[in-house]
Amino acid sequence: MNEITYSPIGKVHSDYTSKDGMPIQSAFADGSKGTVEIKKEYTDALLGLDEFSHIYLIYHFHLMKSNKLVTKPFMRDLDLGVFAIRSPVRPNGIGLSVVRLEKIEDNILYINDVDIMDGTPLLDIKPYISRFDIRTDVKNGWIEGRTENKKKQVSDKRFE
Say if CB 110 and CB 103 are below 8 A apart: yes
Q: Which residues pair with 127 in a beta bridge?
A: 55
User: Does residue 132 sit in helix, strand or coil?
Assistant: helix
Give the angle subtended at the CA of 12 by the CAs of 42 and 74, to the nearest 5°: 140
User: What x/- string results for residues 80 through 119 when contact with a second copy is judged by CB under 8 A?
Assistant: xxxxxxx---xxx-x-x-x---------------------
Judged by CB under 8 A, which stretch of 5-13, 14-22, 151-159 contacts a second copy? 5-13
Number of residues that bind a second copy (CB under 8 A): 65
- Decide if residue 130 touches a second copy (CB under 8 A): yes
Q: How far is CA 19 from CA 22, 85, 96, 105, 108, in A?
A: 6, 18, 17, 28, 24
CA distance 8 to 39: 9
Residues between 21 and 60 with contacts to a second copy, criterion CB under 8 A: 25-27, 42, 44-49, 51-54, 56, 58, 60
Q: Which residues bind a second copy (CB under 8 A)?
A: 1, 3-9, 11, 25-27, 42, 44-49, 51-54, 56, 58, 60, 69-70, 78-86, 90-92, 94, 96, 98, 121, 123-135, 137-144
